[in-house]
Structures are given as C-alpha cells and as structure tokens.
Amino acid sequence: MNVKRVRTFVKGLDKNMDGGIPEGSMVLIAGQPGTMKSSFAFNILYHNTAKAGLRSVYVSLEQSRDSLLANMKGLGMDISKLNEELSVLDLGMIRKKLAHMTSQTWMEVFKMYLKNLKANMGIDILVIDSLAVLELLARLKDPRTELFHIFEWLREMDLTCFMVAEMESGSEEFCRHGEDFLVDGILHLDMRREGQAVNLYFSIMKMRLTEHKRGYFPLIFDNDGFEIVAG
C-alpha cells in the first residue's frame, strides 16, 4: 500500500521508518523531563516548513511563545526566515481570545482557533505541547471518553498531529488515561547517566502502517540537528 509520509528530518530515523510518519497520523512524543521532547517536535515542524513547504502550527501550553522561540533560535531554528508559514500560539494568546468569549469553554475556544487556522492557512502539521496541560485546561470529567472525542475531532481536521507527553521520572507509562491506545504512533525519548555524562536515547514504540526498527538507539543533537544512531 502506497502511504504518503511526513518526514521527521531526523538523520537516521526516516530511512528506518519507511520514509517517515504516515500522513494524517496522531503521534505521541513521550519522555521524562529534560529529554528534548519540545525541541524534537519543533524540529519536525521547522524542517517540514523550511524544506518540504508544509504549513505548521505549534501550540505551546506550558512555555510562552517568546521563550520557546528564543530557545529554538538558540538551537538553530529561527522561524523569522519562514514567512509566517509556521505559526506559534501560546496559552496567553488563547486566554485573550477566551476573555472576549465568556460563554464558551476553553476547549471550544481552542477548537475554534484551530479551525480558523486550518481554514486560513491550510495547516498540514500540528504540535500540541503538552497533552497533560491540554487535559487540565479542558477540565475532563470522564477522561477516557472525552479524550476519545477530542482525538477523533483532531483526526477530522485532516492533518498530522504530534502531542508532547510528559512521563514521570522512573515511570514506563506514556500517559495517564490510555491515550497510547488512541494514537497511531509513539516516539519515546529517554536519557541515561553513563559515567559523568547524561546521554539521550530514542525508540519507536509503535507506528501504524509502518515497518520500523525496534530498538533503543542513541539520540544526538548538534549543529546539524537531531540524529539517531541506528547501526
């Protein structure tokens, strides 16, 4: 079956994942604090916008837009060169909109934002950072059922969606409410203390419609970007 794919632009990864992530997938980028999850997600958006001409939106619910962009620029990803084809929203921007729409819930405003961006920009890729904060802001009363409907709504948006998922230190659970069963793929970033160094590692826990290597590979970030050493 011929499946259209979105490249990650992580050296060594796409070739070991049938060329990339199936277009339209919902993917968790999961890991403990400090494993560069946000940078990894931003890297996918940045390079797809710069090199593949795709339009992207990064929704930062934990970090301010200015702080995030300063950090990414320091890593060599300056969106000022992308002609506004990569948009970054933060929680403050969404709350300002909510202040003028007091009759609507946060989730309703969030959905409206994305619908408008999709209509006006033709979004191809979306990152939500993070899933835990989205769940908190949505004030879920029945997390499993309500998350199912949120995920289905995102699927109907006809885009490729990445969600950053924070894992607790020492935990092997990717999420709290069974979200791992709702998504198409899970990319796991991890770190190990080895002597005096703390090194990053990467694994593909699952990716539907994709043949991929199952392993635990070193993950490197340097001036050339991210790279997995898959052997």
What the chain holds in terms of domains, given with CATH numbers, is: 28-186 (3.40.50.300)
Contact 43, 13 (CB under 8 A): no
Task: Give the tens place of pLDDT for each residue, 167-184.
Answer: 987 777 777 777 888 999
* Cis ω before 56 (30° cut-off from 0): no
Classify 34 as helix, strand or coil: coil
DSSP for 145-184? HHHHHHHHHHHHT-SEEEEEEEPPTT---S-SSSGGGTSS
Residue 98, pLDDT score: 66
Residue 91, pLDDT score: 87
Residue 205, Cβ density class (10 Å: 0-12 exposed, 13-18 middle, ≥19 buried): middle
Residue 149, pLDDT score: 93
Residue 231, pLDDT score: 66
Residues of the chain with pLDDT under 70: 1, 97-99, 101-102, 231
Contact 208, 201 (CB under 8 A): no
Distance CA 126, CA 203 (A): 21
Task: Give the tens place of pLDDT for each residue, 95-135.
Answer: 776 667 667 888 888 898 889 889 988 999 999 999 999 99
Residue 96, pLDDT score: 78
Residue 1, pLDDT score: 60
Cα distances (Å, whole numbers) of residue 116 to 109, 110, 112: 11, 10, 6
Contact 30, 167 (CB under 8 A): yes
Residue 102, pLDDT score: 64
Which one-letter amino acid corresponds to residue 53? G
Contact 117, 128 (CB under 8 A): no
Residue 108, pLDDT score: 87
